[in-house]
Homo-oligomer: A and B are copies of this chain.
Amino acid sequence: MVVTGRALHAPVRGVLEMFDAAFVVDEGGTIVEIGRAEAAAGQVLMPGMVDLHVHAPQFPQMGQALDVPLWQWLQEKTFPLEARYADPAFAAEVYARLVDCLLDNGTTTAVYFATIHLAATQALAEICLKAGQRALVGRVAQDDAGQCPDWYRDASAEVAEAETRALIAHVRGMAGNEAGLVRPVITPRFIPACTDDLLARLGRLALESGCHVQTHCSESDWEHGYVRDRCAMSDTAALAGFGLLGRHTVLAHGVFVSEADAGVIRAAGSGIAHCPLSNAYFADAVFPLRRMLDAGVNVGLGTDVAGGASPSVLESARHAVTASRQLESGVDARVEAGARGCAGARVSAAEAFWLATAGGGEVLDLPVGVFRVGYQFDAIRVAGGGAASNLRLEAEDGAQDVLQKVIYTAGRQDICDVWVAGRRVGGTGS
């Protein structure tokens, strides 16, 4: 297969390359050659986006109940909704809509928290495979009776481990998944919801299975403080102690990680899913993105659907920029300028785009997010000027112009093609 067009990517953080390309893609979806070709005006091919943090079952409450604190949001809104996925028919209907929605928003790789229900989680993996989305799918493990209601809790650490093993076997064995388009991910919800026994079991399973791991880490004052009180150490240190920090671990949020934590995360090769929109509602502060990047930590972006009310990684990138600007300037106008913010905290639109693509690929250790021979052809075609478009690309626009216009003004209506592993799987088609 050959796809041609003006291509724009960020092979290195902060660096943009734009070129007129002909991508030759083999049957396995791998880019085998990048030639040159005439490109149509007003369109651009970009790497597909990587969403490192999606709560699949929360999709029905997207855009709702963002006015309550995290703990209350979990107990009163989110756990009751997640408990409904005991019904596989409900799960199949919601998950099919979600996967289509994310693909059409340009998310070619998604990392999913599902629920504690094995059947529903298997269904999510099957739906991703059928729809052609690259995905990591996790059955949520949470067995702590003090933090989880009895109607939405693993019966025991043994059961949680056994069902996690069952999910791994199921996903790896799905017909048509020989290339590993869909992968299992070990998913302790977060330390507050899990017993030490469960966390240690899942740490051992991560080592044994080689699977990816995902959990939440230092998200909010409450969550960060809870772990410090219970474990007498930071979230990061505690997770490391349970064997849950490895090269294939994704930590959601990390708003309150310290410089010492950053050293631990970097040494482990783990990554952070930065979810700026969700953080504005549930995290009590802004993730210190610049400090973590400077510390050498792998970082990508997450929507955190539905703590984040947008399914678009483009919108996450936009919020990553604005949140970093508000961290840099500070927010309280009554404070003198010099004391108001954190100097140097800003990231550029080009850096946010790198986080949304190549950065996410690096966190996951998958060959996606960059247009490079040997990488997978996961891509989107963005075109301005459509019926409901606010995007307008001009023939003379340089790489920075195109990138900034897309990050700041494009939406789902502008994404006309979406490919994963060389297969067209979404887009408006216009």
State how many angstroms separate the Cβ of A265 from the closest Cβ of chain B: 15
**What residues of chain B lie closer than 8 Å to A340, measured between beta carbons?**
284-285
| CB-based nearest B residue for A348 | B67
- Name the segment of A43-51, A199-207, A331-339, A357-365 touching the other chain: A331-339
Whether B66 lies near A349 (C-beta < 8 A) is: yes
Contact of A341 among B67, B105, B331, B390 (CB under 8 A): B331
**C-alpha gap A326/B325 in the complex (Å):** 12
Stretch at the interface among A26-34, A169-177, A309-317, A369-377: A309-317
Question: With a CB–CB cut-off of 8 A, which chain B residues contact A333?
Answer: 255-256, 284-288
**Distance in Å from the Cβ of A41 to the closest Cβ of chain B?**
17
- Structural contact, A388 and B104, CB atoms closer than 8 A: yes
Q: Does A409 count as interface, using CB distance less than 8 angstroms?
A: yes
Of A113-121, A152-160, A266-274, A399-407, the segment with at least 4 beta carbons within 8 Å of chain B is A399-407
Once the chains bind, are B64 and A405 in contact (CB under 8 Å)?
A: yes
Query: Inside 8 A of A401's CB, which chain B residues have their CB?
Result: 64
B104 touches A312 (CB 8 A): no
Question: Does residue A96 face the partner (Cβ distance < 8 Å to B)?
Answer: no
Measured CA separation A143–B408 after assembly (Å): 33
Interface residue A108 (Cβ < 8 Å from any Cβ of B): no
Asked if A326 and B390 make an inter-chain contact with CB atoms under 8 angstroms apart, the answer reads: no
Report the minimal beta-carbon distance from A326 to chain B, rounded to whole angstroms. 5
Measured in the bound complex, the distance between the Cα atoms of B281 and A323 in whole Å is: 10
State how many angstroms separate the Cβ of A221 from the closest Cβ of chain B.
5
Contact across chains for B280 and A390 when beta carbons are under 8 A apart: no
Please judge, given known A-B contacts A255-B333, A277-B322, A310-B390, whether A409 and B63 are in contact too, CB under 8 Å.
Answer: yes
The verdict on A428 contacting chain B, using a C-beta distance below 8 Å, is yes
Residues of B within 8 A of A329 (CB): 283-285
Contact A409 B104, beta carbon cutoff 8 Å? no
A330 at the interface (CB under 8 A from B): yes
Specify which chain B residues have a CB less than 8 angstroms from the CB of A64 in the assembled complex.
401, 404-405
Residue of A284, A323, A390 with most partner-chain B CB within 10 A: A390
Please tell me which one of the listed residues B281, B322, B331 contacts residue A330 in the complex, with CB atoms under 8 A apart: B331
Nearest Cβ on chain B to A316's Cβ, whole angstroms? 13
Chain B residues within an 8 Å CB radius of A322? 277, 280-281, 319
Query: In the complex, A332 Cα to B256 Cα: how many Å?
Result: 9
**Residue of B with least CB distance to A350:** B67
Q: Is the CB of A66 within 8 A of B285?
A: no
- A331 B404 Cβ-Cβ under 8 A: no
Do B331 and A326 touch (CB < 8 A)? yes
Chain B residue at minimum C-beta to C-beta distance from A337? B221
B285 touching A404, Cβ below 8 Å: no
Does the CB pair B337–A408 fall under 8 Å? no
Given contacts A310-B409, A405-B63, A408-B66, contact A342 B332 (CB under 8 A): yes
Cα A337 to Cα B69 with chains together (Å): 14
On whether the beta carbons of A285 and B331 are closer than 8 Å, the reply is yes
Determine whether the beta carbon of A408 is less than 8 Å from that of B63: yes
| Chain B residue at minimum C-beta to C-beta distance from A390 | B311
A62 / chain B contacts, CB cutoff of 8 Å: 390, 405, 408-409
Interface residue? A101 (CB, 8 A): yes
- Please state if B330 and A407 are interface contacts (CB–CB under 8 Å): no
A288–B340 CA distance with the chains assembled, in angstroms: 14
